[in-house]
Amino acid sequence: MSVIRNAELPRSALPGIDHVTLAGSAQGLAHLSVWQQSIAPGAATPPHRHDCEEVVIIQSGRGELHLQGRVQAFGPDTTLVVPRNAVHQIINVGEAPLALIGILSVSPVPVFFPDGTPIELPWHS
């Protein structure tokens, strides 16, 4: 399918994180996975890493990027760049949902805790 209506895609969730996979291996892609997420106020991703490059577009909200021990605050209309295998965490430090597009350079996406333990995601990546 070349044209996908985002509102018709399956929705998934982790605690505090609403997720929709916009495109990935289900659309025949091997080198791109595109996620739309909303992180609730006070919620965060776990600290984790991927064996691929990642770009995150922050559409609205305010947060912190914890990247290999360094903390950087960000607001809306920003882009986060996460190098391959860099341990990172995104935290919503604002009072509104943190809306983002997560872009990864492989599909499906392997996700690991910092110690290398695989994280099982509830969504098709």
For the chain, report the end-to-end CA distance as a whole number of angstroms: 16
109 belongs to the binding site for a copy of itself (CB under 8 A): no
By CB under 8 A, residue 28 contacts a copy of itself: yes
Out of 42, 83, 96, 124, the residue judged to bind a copy of itself by CB under 8 A: 83
Of 10, 11, 81, 113, which lies in the binding site for a copy of itself, with binding defined by CB under 8 A? 81
The CA distance from 125 to 114, in Å, is 20
> Of residues 30, 47, 113, 124, which one binds a copy of itself by CB under 8 A?
30
For the sheet containing 88-92, what is the strand order? 70-74, 63-67, 88-92
